[in-house]
Structure 1
Amino acid sequence: MHRRTRIKMCGITNMEDAEEGIRAGVDALGFIFVEESPRYIEPEKAKEIAANISPFVDLVGVFIDRDNVEVQEIVDYCGLSYVQLHGSETPEYCSQLAYAASPCKLIKAFRINDSATPEDFQPYQDVVQGFLLDTYVAEQAGGTGSTFNWDMIESLTLQRPIILAGGLTPENVAEAIDTVRPFAIDVNSGVEIRPGLKDYDKLRLLLDAVWKVDLARIG
């Protein structure tokens, strides 16, 4: 059965970008709570944005190796829908969030290179809702602007929905979807003027490309 590709726009830092993304048709917005990131947003600002967006839009908080109590506090404070973990978080760490008194829905990110194997993902299968696959770049957890070998994903035999990230642009997103058939894509640097500021023309072109490839799959 055909289903459409969901679209998450990450690196939201201001209300205008959030509103324009929703107006254009994205399904989810990502807030990066990593102070070292050029797209970092304070929880107070994220909460302000979250309180003023349209309903039925998922809100995703991005974290790297942060204390799980702090993560839970930010989730509750901002009203987030999902937690996206981009560090070396263990399955045990994920379980603590997934089965907390106020449980979090989790997406575990993996930076992919040629050494990736199914065994890397197996311990997380029962505690996360999806796997985000990003490009491996040393010392960079995300927003790389680079793609990876999409053909290798099939060999990973993943049992959870795939969110594809890593250098997706209006020019390559159709090929990415045709190759991977992900549940969703995660776009960031490919629709930016500069880190933290979105390019609405690029965003609309990318969304058009996604919708066209989805329609073509219907036949």
Structure 2
Amino acid sequence: MEDAEEGIRAGVDALGFIFVEESPRYIEPEKAKEIAANISPFVDLVGVFIDRDNIEVQEIVDYCGLSYVQLHGSETPEYCGQLAYAASPCKVIKAFRISGSAIPEDFQPYQDVVQGFLLDTYVADQAGGTGSSFNWDMIESLALQRPIILAGGLSPDNVTEAIDKVRPFAIDVNSGVEIRPGLKDYDKLRMLLDAVWKADLARIS
């Protein structure tokens, strides 16, 4: 709860809850529901999943009151569509780990069933939270038709450059504002959000 409150105080637009038991940042649905019930209604809640049964995902979405699901596994377009068009639908973000071999055809089948693409760094046997960035220059060649959420090694030191180069709809940050996995560094969090606001102001001024 303290992490959530500090994040909101710093100015985040969304909070992520990682429902991947193997992750050091895993949170149980009961705890996520407790946090969700006590925060501002103008902050989006994002559930992070990897190749989990879509019925279980929908149950957690409904139980915790999530705004989005963020899918980091090998989920198919059909899987994404089942969540997007369910009886109680939620918005879907599909994550892709970007390597030098990424091509537009990797994304095309998802265009009609997701609200955005999260681009993270490809590291073998690691689905996310790598703490490493990738070659942002290649993003333009992917011809993405959905908003981009940029992830991968973002920190107060490089977030301004990332925003200037990529012009993403949003950024996703974790390890760059942590002391260790699962333990947030509030000073780094405030520094990063300050850099984000300054970069945004520079773009519109």
Provide the TM-score with structure 2 as the length reference.
0.99
Tell me the distance in 1 between the aligned counterparts of 2:201 and 2:92: 29
How many residues of Structure 1 are paired with residues of Structure 2 in the alignment?
205
Matched residues in 2 for 1:96 and 1:27: separation?
26
TM-superposed CA distance for 1:212, in Å, is: 1.1
How far is 1:105 from its partner? 0.7
Q: Deviations over 1:67-100 (max 9, x none)?
A: 0000000000000000000000000111111111
Aligned counterpart for 1:79 among listed residues 60, 65, 71: 65
Identity of aligned residues (%): 92
Instruction: Point out which structure has higher relative CO (alpha carbons under 8 A, 6+ apart).
Output: 1
Alignment partners' CA distance in 1, 2:2 and 2:82: 35
User: 1:61 is paired with a residue of what secondary structure?
Assistant: strand
Question: Structure 1, residues 113-135: CA drift from partner, whole Å, max 9, x if none?
Answer: 00000000000000000000000
1:93 aligns with 2:79: yes
Q: 1:177 aligns with which of 158, 163, 168?
A: 163
Question: What is the CA-CA distance between 1:104 and the residue it aligns to?
Answer: 1.7
> How much has 1:216 moved relative to structure 2?
1.3
Identify the residue that residue 153 of structure 1 maps to in structure 2.
Answer: 139
2:168 aligned with 1:214, yes or no?
no
- CA–CA distance in structure 2, aligned partners of residues 125 and 217 of structure 1: 27
Report the TM-score, using the length of structure 1 for normalisation: 0.93
**Runs of 4+ displaced beyond 2 Å:** none
In structure 2, distance between residues paired with 1:41 and 1:74: 12
